[in-house]
Amino acid sequence: MIAIVDYGMGNVASVRTAFQRLGYEVEITDSIERLEASTHIILPGVGSFQAAVQEINQRNLAEPLRRLAKEKPFLGICLGMQLLFDKGYENGSSNGLGLIPGEVTRIETEYILPHIGWNQLQIENNNQAFAPFQDKHVYFVHSFQARTDQQYLVATADYGTKVPGIVQNGPVYGMQFHPEKSGEVGVDLLKVFMEETNSDRGQLA
């Protein structure tokens, strides 16, 4: 069972549907027992970093999520990806889950913000699993981006600056764009995440 963390930050119907389309059983939950019983954890989210951290803390989910990310595959989507990092600076500074080294700051670009729309993925570090997605368009909506070491980058997008699109640290993955809103390409990306993590590769650094 795939658990989608329900913490009051945005609608998750589309995320659930995307995994159901791939044939997985999905549960939307904020229960720690259900998260423990799951095979994969998906952390979605739309809104501001600080508000999300508050919602997670109110539900006492930060510590369990940190622990479970070391035990099973974990995918953060959009704001959920940003929360994987150490710190965010949206509406003041707040601590993230610290599962991938780095910070989340406003995108510095000559282009307009938010970064809304379909942008192309550029595969980083010669990543083999995601290589077929080179130049594929996925749907982004955000004004803040992760700043992390090159080694954690799987794919980026060019928006006048390099915007991390997919990040990874062992079994912890993050997607800045919305795979559930990125048509067939998005569903295929989730499929690769499932295949990669089911193959039991990688340990959290």
**Minimum distance of another protein from residue 118's CB (angstroms):** 4
24 binds another protein (CB under 8 A): no
Within a 10 A sphere around the Cβ of 160, how many other Cβ atoms?
12
- 178 is a catalytic site residue: yes
Question: Is the distance from CB of 155 to CB of 121 less than 8 angstroms?
Answer: yes
Binding mask 70-89 for another protein (x = CB under 8 A): --------------------
Buried-state track 73-92, b at ≥16 Cβ within 10 A, e below 16:
bbbbbbbbbbbbbeebebee
Nearer to another protein, 112 or 200 (CB): 112
For position 94 contacting another protein by CB under 8 A, the verdict is no
Beta strands (DSSP E) in 15-55 are 26-29, 40-43
* CA-atom Rg of the chain in angstroms: 15
Q: Which stretch binds another protein (CB under 8 A): 40-48, 54-62, 164-172, 196-204?
A: 40-48
Is 203 a binding residue for another protein by CB under 8 A? The answer is no
Which listed residue (7, 159, 173, 193) binds another protein by CB under 8 A?
159
Q: How far is the CB of 54 from another protein (least distance, A)?
A: 14
Q: One symbol per residue from 104 to 123: x for binding another protein (CB under 8 A), - otherwise; what is it?
A: -------xxxxxxxxxx---
Query: Does 166 participate in binding another protein (rule CB under 8 A)?
Result: no
Tell me which of 13, 131, 204, 205 binds another protein, using CB under 8 A. Answer: 13
Cα–Cα distances (Å) from 108 to 97, 125, 194, in that order, read: 24, 23, 32
**Torsion angle (degrees, nearest 10) of CA 142, 146, 147, 148:** -150
Q: Does 169 bind another protein (CB under 8 A)?
A: no
Q: What does the per-residue mask of binding to another protein show for 126-155, with x meaning CB under 8 A?
A: -----------x-xxxxx------------
What letter would DSSP give residue 138? E
Active site residue 78: yes
Q: Which of 164, 180, 190, 194 binds another protein (CB under 8 A)?
A: 180
The Cα 23–Cα 138 span in angstroms is 22
Single out the residue of 147, 151, 146, 162 nearest to residue 126, CA to CA.
Answer: 151
Where in the sequence numbering do the catalytic residues fall?
A: 78, 178, 180
